[in-house]
Amino acid sequence: MDRTREPAVTGRFRDRVDAGRLLGRRLAVAGLGDVVVAGLPRGGVPVAAEVARALGAPLDVVVVRKIGVPWQPEVAMGAVGEAGVLVVNPHIAARVPGDRLDELAAIESAEVERRVEAWRGGGEGEGVAGRTVVLVDDGIATGATVRAAIAVLRARAVARIVLAVPVAPREAVEDLRPLVDDLVCLLAPDRLYAVGAWYEDFRQVADGEVRALLEAAHGGERAGSGAGGEQAGPGAGGEQAGPGAAAEEYPAVRRDVRTAEMAVPTSAGDLPAVVSVPDDAAGLVLFAHGSGSSRLSPRNARVARMLNAVGLATVLLDLLSEAEANDRSRVFDIELLAHRLGDATRLVATVPDLAILPLGYFGASTGAAAALWAAADHPDRLGAVVSRGGRPDLAAPRLADVTAPTLLVVGALDTDVLALNRWAREQLTCASELRVVPGATHLFEEPGTLEVAGDLAATWFRTHLFHGAAAAH
């Protein structure tokens, strides 16, 4: 591929559309001829749409699902694609009973069919046999999904694969290069941290947006008006949250996590905290629990483990002493709780391993109000706030002073609190989003709903904390 006239790319991309336009300009000078541009849903599709427009080529998606080893799901033993395509790594699959492989393949195939219906509305995809396919994603972290897509495309007898991505770690680029016929990557840093760190706007892409882009590329003839998929994200006027974004953008990997106790000096004396630091921590999140809870809250602990798995250190702390926790007037004293969170903020700034990390707050119930109040008190130190089932309305006097990007996550069945969150978001002047988790009540006790909330939090923190740290330098 002739790269003598390629436009230079430096810094970060504004959003996926910007990345797609730059990638399209790069590919347009290559003389690829008759191609099909295929995006990896969901995030790769807005990028692919711009590439397809630049090349005057049809737009489609490659729908794949990795089949993980049962006892180590992050290790792929194969992949499934639409039209019943199954690709298996025989060296890994040989260690798994055949019936178990068949069972897992069937589960993932059903998910492929669901996604095809959501994105294409049952329409047929572009024929790729004997053609060149430009495979596009918004970035590569580990490369697992891209590898699965390449394997599925090879099984569909494509003539040539050109892998095109805006950003990927240099090591992944070199690992993937032998698997494709050509590879174009605009930015290949030695350390990626996270795909979202290379975008100013990396909001989640909903099923509805993927479907709309495919409809637009085919003159509205493909998907029609049938039901399918999630509502559009906040950037497109909707609120409903779907699962899986952080798992796709920031895959959880096995990390060594150091856990220790810490004492936070406050007006009530030293209050206990639990600190967990993964070996490659890229940010730090302080947790403010709600009324009737503590640093030992199993729900917050589960969310903290999710954040640890994507490279974020966490501090679970008590904001009240045992005696204060029995005094209801203290439990709802949001200013006091915020000051205690401020005490913890000042303490971590003195701990060498923690002081260098960009900081976020995670609050639940009344703890969310405390987090927002404290965010207004520490605008220079704070990079992001997430509220889960929170009462941000209780921080009403300080909402307009919050400058850190704020995510409000609420259960769809928590109707009273949802209304309060909508009101509170109107008072915020900072960048903010409200995401509603289907089927969830106030405590996110329903199966899978807490994982969706944690997934949304992980994506928000990894995007905004790293963005803030990069901007500061």
Residue 38 maps to a domain: yes
Segment 145-149 mean pLDDT:
84
Residue 242 maps to a domain: no
pLDDT value, residue 55: 93
pLDDT value, residue 230: 30
C-alpha to C-alpha distances, 117 to 62, 153, 228, 360, nearest whole angstrom? 13, 19, 7, 38
Which has the closest alpha carbon to 96: 72, 65, 80? 72
Q: What is the CATH number of the domain that holds 66?
A: 3.40.50.2020
Question: pLDDT by residue (tens digit) across 154-175?
Answer: 888 899 999 999 999 999 899 9
pLDDT value, residue 218: 73
pLDDT value, residue 331: 77
Segment 215-235 mean pLDDT:
44
pLDDT value, residue 210: 86
Residue where a domain terminates, one of 212, 235, 258: 235
Question: pLDDT by residue (tens digit) across 274-318?
Answer: 999 998 888 999 999 876 567 877 888 889 999 998 889 999 998
Residue 7 maps to a domain: no
Task: Report CA Rg, the chain.
Answer: 23
pLDDT value, residue 297: 78
pLDDT value, residue 81: 82
Segment 321-330 mean pLDDT:
78
Note whether 270 and 144 are same-domain residues.
no
Question: What amino acid is encoded at 436 in this protein?
Answer: V
Question: pLDDT by residue (tens digit) across 353-376?
Answer: 898 899 999 999 899 999 999 999
Whole-structure pTM value:
0.51
Residue 3 maps to a domain: no
Check if the beta carbon of residue 39 is closer than 8 Å to that of residue 137.
yes
Computed over every residue of the chain, the mean pLDDT equals 82
Percent of the chain's residues with pLDDT above 70 = 85
pLDDT value, residue 93: 75
311 vs 221 pLDDT, higher one: 311
Note whether 445 and 377 are same-domain residues.
yes
For residues 441, 446, 450 and 453, what is the CA-based torsion angle, rounded to 10 degrees? -50
Note whether 195 and 147 are same-domain residues.
yes
- In the chain, the number of structural domains is 2
pLDDT value, residue 240: 61
Note whether 222 and 273 are same-domain residues.
no
Residue where a domain terminates, one of 235, 263, 278: 235
Note whether 141 and 210 are same-domain residues.
yes
Note whether 208 and 61 are same-domain residues.
yes
**What is the DSSP track for 170-224?**
HHHHHHHGGGSSEEEEEE--S--S-GGGGBS--PPPPHHHHHHHHHHHTTTTTTT
Whether 227 shows a pLDDT value over 70: the answer reads no
Note whether 228 and 259 are same-domain residues.
no
Note whether 197 and 304 are same-domain residues.
no
pLDDT value, residue 435: 94
155 vs 421 pLDDT, higher one: 421
Residue 389's domain comprises: 247-472
Whether 85 shows a pLDDT value over 70: the answer reads yes
Which tokens is 54 given? 């630049």
Whether 396 shows a pLDDT value over 70: the answer reads yes
Check if the beta carbon of residue 453 is closer than 8 Å to that of residue 444.
yes
Note whether 106 and 228 are same-domain residues.
yes
Note whether 216 and 288 are same-domain residues.
no
pLDDT value, residue 57: 93
